[in-house]
C-alpha cells in the first residue's frame, strides 16, 4: 500500500513540499506525489517574493496550480508562509515604511492570500523563524519596522481571513528541549495569554545525520507543547547525509525517520508529517548545504529509499 494511505490509517498525514516547476514538467514527479503523499506545502510559491512581486501585483499561477493539483488528488494543503525574513520582494524590504503603512500592507497581504484559499488550506505557517538559536528575537525587517507586536498582528489577520484555518508558529532547530524551543514556547504562551489565535507549533526538522536531536528530548518537547492544548506538525522534514552516501548511512537515515515518526505517533499530538520535497532530485539540500545530499524518502528515479520502507513499517505497526 502507498505511504499516504498507511500514514492516514495510522493517523499521521504524510505530506511533501511541492515545487511548481517539476509539477508542470515531470509526469513521474506528479505521479509520485499523488500516490505517496496526502498533503502538500508550496515550497516557494506562497512566499512574499514569488506571490506578491510588486505592491499591486500578485502572481498566483504557481500557487493555484499546486492547490488545484492537491484538490484533484484529495490532498490536504499547508500554507507557507505569511511572515518571514527571507525571500521578500525588493519593493517590500527596500521600501521606506512607516509603521501604519507597513501594518496596512501586511494586513492586506494576509487578507488577500489567506482569503483566496479559504476553506482549501487547513493550516498556515503564519510566522516563520522569528527566533534566533540562542532564543533571542531575530532582528528582522518586520520587527524593525513594526516592533515585537508584528506576530500578534499577523495571527489576527490570518484568523480574520479564514477563521477555520489552524495557525502555526514555525521554526527550525527547535525540535528538542533547549534554549530555542523554550523561547518559542514563551513567545506562543505570551500570544495565547493576549488572546491571539495561535493553534500550533511547526517543527521544521531539517536534520543532519550524525548530529540528530535526542528523540527522547523531542518527545518531551512535543509533550509540553501538547499539554498546553497546542498542536504539533512536522513541517519541513529532511535528514541530510554528508557525501559520500553509503548503504550504511541510508540505513541510519531510515532509523532516524522511523524514530521521529514513532515519537510523533506516540505523542498523539502531531497532526502532520511533512517532508521538504518528495525526491532527492528536487531537494533544496545539495544547493544549500555544500557536500550534503540524499535527505528525502525517494531517490532521483522516484524509487523508495530505506527511509520510505521504515516509515511504511512504523505506520503499519499502528494499525
In sequence order, the β-bridge partners of residue 272 are 233
Query: Is 43 among the residues that bind ligand XIL (CB under 6 A)?
Result: yes
Query: Is 128 among the residues that bind ligand XIL (CB under 6 A)?
Result: yes
List the interface residues with ligand XIL, window 282-301 (CB under 6 A).
Answer: 284
Given the residues 36, 43, 129, 175, the one annotated as active site? 129
- Provide the 8-state DSSP code for 294: -
Smallest gap from Cβ 17 to ligand XIL, in A, equals 7
Smallest gap from Cβ 236 to ligand XIL, in A, equals 6
Query: Is 41 among the residues that bind ligand XIL (CB under 6 A)?
Result: no
Mask: binding to ligand XIL, 190-229, rule CB under 6 A, as x and -? --------------x-------------------------
Query: Is 280 among the residues that bind ligand XIL (CB under 6 A)?
Result: no
- 19 Rama class: left (phi>0) / alpha (psi -120 to 50) / beta: beta
In sequence order, the β-bridge partners of residue 127 are 83, 169
Which residue, 284 or 315, has its beta carbon nearer to ligand XIL?
284
d(CA 15, CA 236): 9
Is 236 in the active site?
A: yes
Query: Is 48 among the residues that bind ligand XIL (CB under 6 A)?
Result: no
Smallest gap from Cβ 171 to ligand XIL, in A, equals 8
Residue number of the CB atom closest to ligand XIL: 284
Backbone phi, psi, residue 96, to 5° = -105, 110
Instruction: Provide the 3-class DSSP secondary structure of residue 298.
Output: strand
In angstroms, the Cα distances linking 213 to 48, 258, 289 are 31, 13, 18
Alpha helices (H) along the chain: 3-10, 20-25, 27-36, 48-51, 61-72, 90-93, 99-116, 141-146, 150-161, 179-193, 215-227, 247-267, 285-288, 306-318
Is 129 in the active site?
A: yes
Query: Is 62 among the residues that bind ligand XIL (CB under 6 A)?
Result: no
Query: Is 140 among the residues that bind ligand XIL (CB under 6 A)?
Result: no
Size of the site for ligand XIL (CB under 6 A): 6
Residue 105 burial (CB < 10 Å; 0-12/13-18/19+)?
Answer: middle
Q: Which helix (H) or strand (E) holds 142?
A: helix 141-146
Length of the chain: 319
Given the residues 36, 236, 262, 313, the one annotated as active site? 236
Smallest gap from Cβ 237 to ligand XIL, in A, equals 11
Please identify every residue annotated as catalytic.
129, 236
Residues that bind ligand XIL (CB under 6 A): 43-44, 128, 204, 236, 284
Amino acid at each position: 500500500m502507498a505511504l499516504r494511505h498507511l500514514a492516514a490509517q495510522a493517523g499521521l498525514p504524510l505530506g511533501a513540499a511541492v515545487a511548481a516547476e517539476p509539477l508542470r514538467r515531470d509526469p513521474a514527479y506528479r505521479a509520485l506525489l499523488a500516490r505517496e503523499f496526502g498533503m502538500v506545502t508550496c515550497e516557494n510559491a506562497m512566499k512574499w517574493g514569488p506571490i506578491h512581486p510588486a505592491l499591486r501585483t500578485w502572481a498566483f499561477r504557481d500557487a493555484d496550480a499546486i492547490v488545484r493539483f492537491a484538490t484533484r488528488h484529495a490532498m490536504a494543503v499547508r500554507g507557507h508562509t505569511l511572515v518571514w525574513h527571507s525571500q521578500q520582494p525588493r519593493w517590500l524590504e527596500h521600501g521606506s515604511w512607516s509603521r501604519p503603512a507597513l501594518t496596512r500592507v501586511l494586513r492586506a497581504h494576509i487578507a488577500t492570500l489567506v482569503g483566496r484559499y479559504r476553506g482549501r488550506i487547513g493550516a498556515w505557517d503564519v510566522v516563520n523563524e522569528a527566533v534566533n538559536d540562542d532564543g533571542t528575537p531575530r532582528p528582522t525587517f518586520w520587527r524593525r519596522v513594526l516592533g515585537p507586536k508584528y506576530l500578534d498582528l499577523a495571527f489576527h489577520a490570518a484568523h480574520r481571513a479564514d477563521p477555520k484555518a489552524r495557525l502555526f508558529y514555525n521554526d527550525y532547530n527547535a525540535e528538542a528541549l533547549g534554549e530555542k524551543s523554550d523561547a518559542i514556547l514563551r513567545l506562543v504562551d505570551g500570544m495565547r495569554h493576549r488572546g491571539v489565535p495561535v493553534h500550533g507549533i511547526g517543527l521544521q526538522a531539517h536534520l543532519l545525520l550524525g548530529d540528530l536531536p535526542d528523540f527522547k528530548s523531542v518527545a518531551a518537547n512535543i509533550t509540553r507543547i501538547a499539554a498546553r492544548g497546542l498542536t504539533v506538525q512536522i513541517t519541513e522534514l529532511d535528514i541530510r547525509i554528508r557525501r559520500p552516501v553509503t548503504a550504511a548511512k541510508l540505513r541510519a537515515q531510515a532509523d532516524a525517520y522511523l524514530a521521529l515518526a514513532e515519537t510523533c505517533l506516540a505523542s498523539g499530538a502531531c497532526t502532520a508529517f511533512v517532508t521538504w520535497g518528495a525526491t532527492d532530485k528536487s531537494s533544496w539540500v545539495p544547493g544549500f548545504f555544500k557536500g550534503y545530499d540524499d535527505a528525502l524518502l525517494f531517490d532521483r528515479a522516484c524509487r523508495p529509499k530505506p527511509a520510505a520502507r521504515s516509515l511504511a513499517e512504523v505506520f503499519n505497526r499502528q494499525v
